[in-house]
Amino acid sequence: MIDLETFKWDRAVLLAPMEEVTDLSYRKICRELGAELVYTEFVNSDGLIRGCRQGRRKMAICDAERPIGIQIYGNDTKTMVEAACLAEELAPDLIDINAGCWVKKVSRRGAGAGLLKDPCFMEEMIRRVVKAVKVPVTVKTRIGWDEHSINIIDIAKRLEGVGVRALTIHCRTRAQGHSGMADWSWIDKVKDHVKFPVIVNGGILTAADALRAFRSTRADGVMIARGALGTPWVFREIKEMLKLGSIRTPISLKERIDLCLEHLRNLVLLKGERRALLSFRKYYSGYFRNIANISSLRMALMQQITYQAVADLLRSYEVTGNVSYFKEVTTDKEHYSKKEHCSKNDEKAIKKATISTSCTSLQEDPRVSKNSILQ
């Protein structure tokens, strides 16, 4: 059972914070499909204190996605406290501290999983963050730095002692990254020593994995990361699996397309059409995994640089089941070739016209308004 003041869940299913993935556009969809708690992308505390616009953008939240946690990371106590206070001003339901990021540029400088190398510093920093804010503070971490320094039981006891409300454990070491098997046995070992909720993460890619995690551990919840990348319906499938023992409503092609286009529309409204279409390419494999002609469909989709072109291609594929007929592929090079000999002023005008056109096409969809993403 997870109890964070007004929110209570039995066998909770959470969306993990993921860089360049869990923005507002995607979090809303995951909440609608059954994720009980979602998190922002992780926010660099140093950048946030310096007034970095990217950090502020990552922390944009709305009521439709509640409960929502803002995740921050850093290696300086004063900066982390200040960042937590700034995050609290946006009224999240909780603040989560990233103590599990394994990438070198984060962990090697003592942030993320780097905190595991100095438990005393980690304990004191988080103690001060907990004391500085009124909202619940949670932590996401790993079982240890490497196989020779697994210290998660000690870490968990320290965190409970300073007032952390829940702990998510990615059951791999920092050295493993995402390789190898996640060792879920550490969940019960930690549960033997603490009373606060413990959430299992790592190696949970499908509804069957989530069911197995609950059956084989005493975890209070499961957190889904890569298993939700382009497959937001995994949360609905997990709920069905936990309740019924099987998936009774498999995702249809039409629903995949509807969800994909909803996600893309929301992302365009957040980032603008060009940036959205480029960043969205990583999702196509997930949305259309295991369907006919996936390779040719994905290739065609990745060439499109307008929302309307993507929508037309997918709606046609929905009817025909192939993309061979689709001739109006507009490549990035073709679309922007007219810029090659333009002045800077001309380029700005072209960009403005392109964005204006994209907004018009989006507004023609009766389900979308410019303010809908923030409602």
List, run by run, the mean pLDDT of 10-residue segments along the chain (375 residues): 72 94 94 96 93 88 93 96 96 96 92 96 98 97 95 97 97 94 97 96 96 96 95 96 90 96 95 94 94 89 94 93 58 42 36 36 42 47
CA-nearest of 14, 78, 91, 83 to 48 is 83
144 Cβ contact partners less than 8 Å away, ≥ 6 residues apart: 116, 150, 151, 152, 173, 174
226 and 260 assigned to the same domain: no
- Residue 263 in any domain: the answer is yes
Do 272 and 347 fall into the same domain? yes
Q: Write the Ramachandran bin of 364: left for phi over 0, alpha for psi from -120 to 50, otherwise beta.
A: alpha
Same domain, 312 and 206: no
Residues 110 and 163 in one domain: yes
* Residue 311 and residue 203 share a domain: no
CA distance 244 to 45: 42
In a domain, 208, yes or no: yes
Let me know if 120 is a catalytic residue.
no
Q: How far apart are CA 196 and CA 156, in angstroms?
A: 9
* SS3 assignment, position 172: coil
> Residue 47 domain-assigned?
yes
Task: In whole angstroms, give the CA distance from residue 71 to residue 80.
Answer: 11
Residue 309 belongs to some domain of the structure? yes
Helix, strand, coil percentages (3-state) for the chain, rounded to 5, are 50, 15, 35
- Whether 25 and 147 share a structural domain: yes
Domain match, 159 and 224 both: yes
Please give the DSSP secondary-structure letter assigned to residue 185.
H
Burial-class residue 63 by CB neighbours within 10 Å (0-12, 13-18, 19+): exposed
Give the containing element (helix H, strand E) for 275.
helix 273-280
> Residue 214 belongs to what domain range?
2-244
Quote the CA–CA distance of 340 and 332 in Å, as a whole number: 13
Cα(171)–Cα(149) distance, rounded to whole angstroms?
A: 14
Tell me how crowded residue 109 is: count the other CB atoms within 10 A of its CB.
11
Burial of 253 per CB tally in 10 Å (0-12, 13-18, 19+)? middle
In sign, the C-alpha dihedral spanning 176, 180, 181, 185 is negative
Angle formed by the axes of helices 253-271 and 273-280, nearest 10°: 140
For 106, the token pair is: 């984060």
Q: Is residue 331 part of a domain?
A: yes
Give the CATH number for residue 75: 3.20.20.70
Residue 170: exposed, middle, or buried by beta-carbon count in 10 A (0-12, 13-18, 19+)? Answer: buried
Residue 250 inside a domain? The answer is no
**Token pair listed for 315:** 């709606």
> The pTM is what?
0.84
Looking at 219, 244, 269, which one is the last position of a domain?
Answer: 244
The verdict on 126 and 232 lying in the same domain is yes
| 136 cis-preceded (ω within 30 degrees of 0) | no
CA 281 – CA 359 distance, rounded (Å): 20
Q: Are residues 218 and 268 in the same domain?
A: no
Q: Give the position of tokens 């629903």.
A: 255
**What is the structure's pLDDT at 292?**
84
The predicted pLDDT at position 320 comes to 87
Q: Distance between CA 269 and CA 168 in Å, rounded?
A: 32
Q: Hey, what are 266's tokens?
A: 């929301």
Domain count, the chain: 2
Report pLDDT for 5. Answer: 65
3-state secondary structure of 289: coil
In a domain, 251, yes or no: no
One-letter amino acid of 192: D
* Same domain for 101 and 32: yes
Per-residue pLDDT at 56:
87
- Residues 218, 364 share a domain: no
CB-based contacts of 234: which residues, under 8 Å, 6+ apart? Answer: 206, 207, 224, 227, 228
The pLDDT of residue 322: 78
Radius of gyration of the chain measured on its C-alpha atoms: 22
Displacement of CA 349 from its chain's centroid (Å): 34
Residue that is last in its domain, among 244, 275, 297: 244
Do the domain assignments include residue 92? yes
pLDDT for the residue 77? 96
Given 30, 101, 171, 260, the catalytic residue: 101
Domain co-membership, 227 together with 94:
yes
Task: Map tokens 């990035």 to a residue.
Answer: 332
Domain boundary among 188, 209, 244: 244
